[in-house]
Amino acid sequence: MSEVAQLQLIGLSIVGSGILILLFIKSQFVRVTGFVAIVLGLFALTALSVPQMASLPPAEEKFDIATVKTPTDLAAIGQKIFFSKGQCALCHSIGPSESARCPDLKGIGAKLSREFIFESLTQPQAYVYLDYRHEGLPKEYPARMPYINKDPIGLSKNEILSVIAFLQQMSGEPISVSPSELDVPGQAPAAPVKATESAPLAVAQAQ
């Protein structure tokens, strides 16, 4: 028996007990207790009848550089990050979507250079327009692209490059990110990371 079924059974028992109390017990306090039990049991049963979605922490993706042999491997990792740790799909779609709150990324790898994408992810307020559908004066509450290299998302340079590889691949472009550009743990970075900001972990940006 699943956990939900077990809990439903408990809920039903509580509602049943409440009904029995109301039918057979005369003490007013106990009757009110039975009534409250019925209300709470019905509430639990209602909550158990809606879709059950738990929020699991994002899996700690182990970026094993040894497994990355080709740019396609990199794009495969990027795809995973796009839909999980990167939380990109929370706002962006690939292709038109009613529920997308931010620009459709279909073909973005063909429209923008990899440097521009990198900058858009790590310095989103540099060039990315605050609210892409908005025209006219700046707004008080613009849709804001978060800093992807900072918490709470906090992608590493390797992870960001993988996402760029994925965006290029799904746009039908040749992948311009090479596995040799990845930082190897324990070694100094191969090249300075362009347009990356570092910030103390404990400092969150005030609005």
Partner 1 sequence: MQQRGGSIQRMFRALDGHGGWLVGLLLIAGYLMLPSIGLAAEGSAKGPTEYRDIPYIGSRNLIWIVAQLHLLLAGFVLGVPIFAWLCEVVGWKGGEKRYDKLAKEFTKLLTSSYATTALFGGILLFLLVAFYPKLMNYLTDIFFPSFLVYCLLFLLETATLYLYWYGWDAMQDGGKKTFHVFLGFLLNVFAFFIMIVPNSWATFQASPVVIAEGTDIQRAWAATWNPTWWPVNIHRLIANVVLGGYICGAYAGIRYLSAKNPEERDHYDWMGYVGNFIGVFGLLPLPFAGYWLMREIYQYNQQMGITLMGGFLSWLFILQAMLIGVLFLGSNYYFWLGITYRIPGAEMKYRKPMLWMLIILLLCLGVWMTPHSLVASLEEARKMGGTHHPLLGVFGVMSAKMTVANLMILVTFMSFVMYWRAGKVETAGWAKLARAVMGAVLVLASIAVIVLGVWGYFVPAIIRINYFSTSQVLIVLFVMLAITPLTALLLKSARTTTEMVWGRMPPRAGYALVLNATMVILLMTLMGYARSSSRVHWHVYGVMRDSSPYAFSPALGSAAVLMALCTFSFCMLVAFIFWVATMGDKAKAGHGGSAKGELPHGIPAMAGGAPHQHRQG
* Chain residues that interact with partner 1, rule: CB under 8 A: 3-4, 7, 10-11, 28-29, 31-32, 35-37, 39-41, 43-44, 46-48, 50-58, 87, 90-91, 98-99, 101, 131, 133-134, 139-144, 146, 150-152, 200-204, 206-207
The answer to whether the beta carbons of residues 14 and 41 sit under 8 Å apart is yes
CB of 78 to partner 1, least distance (A): 20
Residue 40 or 193: which CB sits closer to partner 1? 40
Residue 2 or 180: which CB sits closer to partner 1? 2
CB of 141 to partner 1, least distance (A): 5
Residue 187 or 207: which CB sits closer to partner 1? 207
Cβ atoms within 10 A of the Cβ of 25, count? 13
CB environment 190-203: b (16+ within 10 A), e (fewer): eeebeebeeeeeee
CB of 53 to partner 1, least distance (A): 4
What does the block give as tokens for 187? Answer: 């070694």
Per-residue CA distances from 75 to 113, 179, 195 (Å): 16, 10, 21
Q: Write phi, then psi, for 16 (nearest 5 degrees).
A: -60, -45
CB of 51 to partner 1, least distance (A): 5
